[in-house]
Amino acid sequence: MYMLIRLDDASEHMDVDKWYRVELLLDKYNIRPIIGVIPNNLDQSIVEKYEHNPGFWDLVKKWESKGWTIALHGYTHVYETDNGGINPIYNRSEFAGLPLSKQREKIRRGVNKLEMHGIFPKLFFAPSHTYDNNTLEALRLESQIRVISDTVANDIYFKDGFHFIPQQSGKVRNLPFRVITFCYHPNTMNDSDFEYLKVFLQKNLNKFRSFEELSFTNRKFGVVDWLLKFIYFGLKKIRFF
């Protein structure tokens, strides 16, 4: 079993103190997470809450130099549809349901903004985990990104030219999957989240891997994946996840 940590919603507007607190904790255990960077954050629920951080892009470079992996996390982080797409964790999306031309523009602008700061994202995940086949096509046409973090499955699988890394939980815990990504939002973490994470890391440290340590084969989505996905979305209806 392999576990990964993903930190969502890094942008020019974020809770710098909480992000630093997560950084110290992960550094202590030598865990290298995946970071979701919002290129052009226009999400008012974040932008209005946190001051603009002029040092943000240097911070991203610093994370990268420590072996942290940078992901493209949408473009504006503003929901434009109530579509759940192909990973319907929520019925809202910045991408799913939009025409290809619009999605291409978002991906192109997002990648350009990151590249302008010398950052070349290795994977993609969308706000609220929601995307569709046009999002994949947009990534194909406008970027070098061929890895998605966000699917429910037992293990990493290869489909339509992309590797999909499962992401199943917003909190560390033992779950019956071979690869598990825990997605945290440092901006909104409280003291008990930090404490719970610390205790879990101490006990399960040997299970954690970085993105660079994963192996990407051409394994297909199989029966076990299908079964776990079916159970997952069933349990989600009763709010287990």
The 3 state secondary structure assigned to 101-157 is: HHHHHHHHHHHHHHHHCCCCCCEECCHHHCCCHHHHHHHHHHCCCCEEECCCCCCCE
C-alpha 104/C-alpha 136 separation (Å) is 10
Task: Select the span of 5-13, 23-31, 52-60, 154-162 touching Zn ion (CB under 5 A).
Answer: 5-13
CB of 37 to Zn ion, least distance (A): 10
Give the DSSP H/E element, type plus range, for residue 204. Answer: helix 191-204
CB of 233 to Zn ion, least distance (A): 21
Residue 9 binds Zn ion, judged by CB under 5 A: yes
3-state helix, strand, coil in the chain (%, to 5): 40, 15, 45
Residue 127 binds Zn ion, judged by CB under 5 A: yes
Residue 12 binds Zn ion, judged by CB under 5 A: no
Residue 150 binds Zn ion, judged by CB under 5 A: no
CB of 89 to Zn ion, least distance (A): 12
Residue 39 binds Zn ion, judged by CB under 5 A: no
φ and ψ of 38, to 5 deg: -90, 115
Residue 8 binds Zn ion, judged by CB under 5 A: yes
CB of 57 to Zn ion, least distance (A): 18
Four-CA torsion 37, 82, 175, 188, nearest 10 degrees: 50
Nearer to Zn ion, 8 or 193 (CB): 8
The number of residues that bind Zn ion (CB under 5 A) is 3
Q: Residue 32 in contact with residue 65, Cβ under 8 Å?
A: no
Nearer to Zn ion, 9 or 225 (CB): 9
Hunting for tokens 């979305």 — which residue is that? 233
Nearer to Zn ion, 148 or 228 (CB): 148
CB of 219 to Zn ion, least distance (A): 28
Which residues are at the interface with Zn ion (CB under 5 A)? 8-9, 127
